[in-house]
A and B are shown apart, each in its own frame.
Chain A
Amino acid sequence: MTATLEHTAITGTLRQELLKVRNLNVSFSTGRGRDARLTHVVKDVDLRLAAGECLAIVGESGSGKSVTARTLVGLPGANASVQAERLELAGHRIGTLGERQWRRLRGKDIGFVLQDALVSLDPLRPVGKEIEEALRLHGWGTTRSRAARAVELLASVGVPQPELRAGQRPDELSGGLRQRALIASAIALDPKILIADEPTTALDVTVQAQILELLGRMKERGTGIVLISHDLSVVATLADHVAVMQGGAIVEQGPARQVLYHPQHDYTRALLDAIPSEHTKGTPLSKDGRARITATSRRPRTTRPADAPVLRAEGLVKSYQGHDGVVRTVVDGVSFELRAGETLGIVGESGSGKSTTAKMALAMLEPDAGRVLLDGAAWTGISTAARRSRRRSVTVVYQDPLSSFDPRWNAERILLDALARQDYPGEAERAAQVRELAGQVGLQVEHLAKHPLQLSGGQRQRLAIARALAPEPEVIVLDEAVSALDVSVQAQVLDLLTDLQQELGLSYLFISHDLGVIHHMSDRVLVMKDGRAVEQGSAEDVFNHPRHPYTRELLASLPQLGLAPGQRNPPAAAGTPTTEGAHS
């Protein structure tokens, strides 16, 4: 049985069914005694996958996609109860396996790649040893042949200098290399099926493109891939079949082209519409459209001639001395202008210096050289006290709102704290203003009594935006402000930001690694690489006529659905769902 399976997997002539799941249900018991509850997180899920194909399970956080994936590798989590009419993986009935049997299967027939390679790899063990261990556990080869195989595997997943890298520990490798090392250990024994849970989510686009290409090659060689992702454009480049999950159930399932370009279910359509891209500029992303914003201009805004720069950075330089004594220039000669009512997008990969630039724009960090001007007056290079009175003109929203709130405070206290004392002398006035702020960002009054931990990710980010609005700023620095959000929540928050900008005439310094988001939001764009501004100009120019090779590379790496909403009829493949190889 196993022999025939292997044979077909290798030749790929007969598409062997690798995964058969019928009526999978997973529930978790929480609490004890009277508080005991059963939470049903995966409901009646049916999945099938053949060799050499990729099945993508798509959904937002809480949709049950990760639990489904973990169940398929026998790790549903503590207190989980798994029921299925049929649960077959690579020819094994996995529903009844014990832990010992699972260990034999995992790594050999089933490879598993988790999102965060840093926590999945042993920090003290060189990655080469990690791979050798995977081989050893399943009795593969000798010590010497295992070491050679590890290097070979690292090379096969596109790790440069594999001999050198095999001897390095995870913390000596970049995120992309770590993820590749993890994939290498997952495919060490040539599993028939690879289950990858958000394998590229933490990675930069150029690295993501490499990983996707690698997965594509594995698929061609006959490996079946189950890809879990929230990112539909990633899915589009790799998947043959797509299952869309919502609230634990599959709402739509079918060939990738059909699901992505002719979605039948409203939720799939909403998910697709929520993706910001070049085509969505100026249009609301979320279905409920524009939030009604009651802008009450209590304070006359500083009137300035149109196009006057609010925030101006001139030749910013920042370097740090590392522990090894080497001085690294993190930001190297960056200049930009943020004009009133405009959005300047700063895009770059991790380590490009965009967050450091944001900190200098906020004057939270003094530049080593260069300066920042706010409304034409010095903003950096002056004393903290001299800056304090103008602090309220520039506010910030961070990527992780939770860590930016004092855990002891509820939402109301957080907003009260952000209000300018002198503008609201009375307690009643302050309370009223807090309610108004909450209304502006679409928070309900009952949310005000809650602590940030009790709010959802989207609500937290709304609260962070409300706090940034409270001092009535001219500029809001948005440092990866939507990067941690689900696509539909991200859409709502982006719509909110657009509306607020129009109503209040705010200027945004919008920092993101996500080109689609940057394109959707920005009037002008600054592309950063290794601390330098490699390209700067209007969003149209930068995205449509990129001049710098790096910008071109970035744009080429971006996995794209490639179609605008309402234009989802690809002429090439109208109604012909095919299972083609991943040559893209």
Chain B
Amino acid sequence: MSTSTLNTSANVPAVAWQRLREVPLLPAVAAAVVLFFVVAALAPHLLTSRDPFAIDLPNALQAPSLAHPFGTDQSGRDLYTRVVYGTRESLLIGLGATGLSMAIAVVLGVVSGLGGKIFDGLINRSLEVLFAFPVLLLAMLFVTVYGPSVTTQIVAVGLGTAPGYARMIRGQVLAVKNSGYVEAAHALGHSRWTVLRQHVFPNAMRPLVAVVTLGIGQSIVWASGLAFLGLGVAPPSPEWGALLDAGRMFITRAWWLEVMPGLAIVAIALAATVLGHHLQKKLEGARS
């Protein structure tokens, strides 16, 4: 007779995010953004015909217009061109710092996870000491001692972010080491090394794929933070953090000096993150 319907709605933001992620458009846009920045890093002249260092004082501090889409800085240099040319150093810092921090983290994490009580205890306590300091503080300390350059920025951010990753990898290694399939492999009579090579390493490193892409964006943000504090690559380099630092003085008069390089940082970090999520889903989806 009377037909009734029960509708159950789950938590709204979660559902919205789920839907957003299911749109294949988002990874496509992210890929396009990443591609743009890769081109900018490798061949910036393809994306702009201007010179990032060409001073044009009469046109200083122009608001964004058709001629200067991102506006101009205090010396009349085209900000868009500078952002494009700054990509190489910024990406280098992002990739380098992530690579370095991953390398440190993998070594520490694996040794900690497999090395038994003594190594695990030692590494864990040291990591806890490092955790006590904010990433930025560690990085600042390093740059202050060794002077600002691209290399020190990479090392500073890499060292600063490594403890977090090391902890994560240690957890992964421990989880895999105690998993049923590792026990099963031992029961089949495989040697310790075979088990490590066949099961522990590949499974423990699996989640890293996503973390790395997330880490790249994060590292760029950290490096920009350092540059903003005057501990980055020195001007007139168009590295994004340096641009932010330089624009700080004019923030009340020329908002675009802060907003435009900021947008570039947000764009690459977001795009890398979205791609990372997508990649992770693809990798895991293939198996389920």
Taking Cβ atoms with an 8 Å cutoff, the residues of A that contact B are: 32, 71, 74-87, 93, 95-97, 362, 364, 384, 387-389, 391-392, 395-396, 398, 400, 403-408, 417-418, 451, 453-454, 467, 471
Contacts and interface: CB of A to CB of B under 8 A. Distances in A.
A86 to B, nearest CB: 7
Contacts of A396: 184, 187
B203 A407 contact: yes
A362 B189 CA distance: 11
Contact of B191 (A83, A388, A395, A418): A388
Nearest to A453: B288
Given A32-B22, A391-B187, A400-B180, 15 more contacts: A78-B8, A78-B9, A82-B4, A83-B5, A85-B1, A384-B192, A389-B189, A392-B188, A398-B180, A403-B181, A404-B180, A405-B181, A406-B185, A407-B203, A417-B188
Contact of A406 (B5, B191, B203): B203
Given A398-B180, A404-B181, A405-B181, A418 B5 contact: no
22 contacts: A32-B19, A32-B22, A82-B5, A84-B4, A86-B1, A93-B4, A95-B2, A95-B5, A364-B183, A398-B180, A403-B180, A403-B181, A404-B183, A405-B180, A405-B184, A406-B185, A406-B198, A407-B181, A407-B287, A417-B198, A451-B287, A453-B288
Nearest to B194: A417
Interface in B1-36: 1-10, 19, 22
B179 interface: yes
A95 B187 contact: no
Interface string B186-217: 11111110000011001100100000000000
A395 B184 CA distance: 9
B188 A471 contact: yes
Contacts of A471: 188-189
A367 B182 CA distance: 21
B3 A408 contact: no
B138 to A, nearest CB: 34
A128 B7 CA distance: 33
A85 B2 CA distance: 6
A74 B187 CA distance: 47
Contacts of A395: 187-188
B176 to A, nearest CB: 9
Contacts of B10: 78
A74 B10 CA distance: 14
Q: Rank and list the top 6 A-B pairs by shortest CB-CB distance, nearest first.
A: A391-B189, A95-B4, A403-B180, A404-B180, A82-B6, A404-B184
Contact of B8 (A77, A83, A87, A384): A77
Given A404-B181, A408-B203, A81 B5 contact: yes
Contact of A392 (B22, B181, B184, B189): B189
A7 B192 CA distance: 70
Interface of B: 1-10, 19, 22, 179-181, 183-192, 198-199, 202-203, 206, 287-288
B8 A79 contact: yes
B282 to A, nearest CB: 14
Nearest to A396: B187
Nearest to B191: A388
Contacts of B188: 391-392, 395, 417-418, 467, 471
Given A78-B10, A392-B188, A406 B181 contact: yes
B183 A76 contact: no
Given A392-B188, A395-B188, A418-B188, A95 B199 contact: no
Nearest to B202: A408
A339 B22 CA distance: 58
Contacts of B287: 407-408, 451, 453
Contact of A85 (B3, B22, B181, B189): B3
Most A CB atoms within 10 A — which of B9, B184, B190?
B184
Contacts of A81: 5-7
Contacts of A74: 6
Nearest to B15: A78
Contact of B184 (A71, A384, A398, A407): A398
A400 B180 CA distance: 9
A93 B6 CA distance: 12
Nearest to B286: A451
A96 B187 contact: no
Contacts of A417: 185, 188, 190, 198
Contacts of A384: 192
Contacts of B5: 81-83, 95
A80 B187 contact: no
B187 to A, nearest CB: 5
A48 B258 CA distance: 70
A454 B286 CA distance: 11
Nearest to A387: B189
A75 B9 CA distance: 11
- Tell me which of B180, B185, B202 has the highest count of chain A C-beta atoms within 10 A of its own C-beta: B180
Contacts of A96: 4
Contacts of A453: 287-288
Most chain A CB neighbours (cut-off 10 Å) among B4, B6, B190: B6
